[in-house]
Structure 1
Amino acid sequence: MIGLTQLSQGNYLPTEEMKGLLRRWYYLKFGQKKSTVELMATASDLRNKSALSIVALLDVDEQMISHVVGKKRLIFVQNCHAYLKGSVNHAGLNSDISND
């Protein structure tokens, strides 16, 4: 998570770089309807794989996520999911998402 989070009031928040990666992978997974396996093969580094993993976890119940990640990582994933839910137009997927 180094370089991808900001510590603010005890919560781990995604950096601007991570937000861009999250939007990109969200667009590819849900906008372009590509599978996580297919996308993971194209993820070039650990940062991209981490962002894609977080996007893929949107399909997983939060309680289930809490059983497989630590508390700090869970907070970070929850903050990333909240960011995506608040910033992505689910009806049409904003076209600017693919440009990041």
Structure 2
Amino acid sequence: MIGLTQVSQGNYLPTEGMKGLLRRWFYLKFVQKKSTVELMAAACDLRNKSALSIVALLDVDEQMISQVVGKKRLIFVQNCHAYLKGSVNPGGLDSGFSND
């Protein structure tokens, strides 16, 4: 998870770079309604695939997620989901999103 998180008082938080990737993949998956399979094929590296997989897990119950990821990864996923839920408006974009 190097480069994906910042450790702050034991919490795993997404970096600014990861937040941008999360918003991008959220937009493509939930606003443009592209399939996860299609998007995963378009993801160019592990960092993008990781961000996309976290976005795709928004559809999965937290208890189910906890059964397949370790505790530290679960905390990171929860923090990413909380970030997305707090930063995107009902239209699917936050004010800082640019489609470039």
**TM band (smaller chain):** over 0.9
SS at match of 2:69: coil
1:63-90 C-alpha deviation (Å, 9 max, x unpaired): 0000000000000000000000000012
Residue 93 of structure 1, CA deviation: 1.9
Residue in structure 1 matched with residue 65 of structure 2 by the alignment: 65
| Count of aligned pairs between the two proteins | 99
Please tell me the residue identity of whatever aligns with 1:36: T
CA contact (8 A) 1:23 1:98 kept: no
Counterpart contact for 2:66–2:74, Cα < 8 Å: yes
RMSD: 1.2
**Which structure 1 residue ranges, 4+ long, deviate > 4 Å from structure 2?**
none
Unmatched 5+ stretches in structure 2: none
Counterpart AA for 1:38: E
Q: Which amino acid aligns with 2:45?
A: D
Q: 1:35 to 1:98 in 2, by over 3 A?
A: farther
Structure 2 Cα separation of the partners of residues 81 and 66 of structure 1:
14
Aligned to 1:29: 29
| SS of aligned partner of 1:2 | coil
Secondary structure in structure 1 of the residue aligned to 2:49: helix
Structure 1 spans left out of the alignment, 5+ residues:
none
TM-score, length-normalised on structure 2?
Answer: 0.94
Identical-pair percentage: 87
Q: State whether structure 2 residue 97 is matched by structure 1 residue 93.
A: no
- In proportion to residue count, which structure has more helix? 1
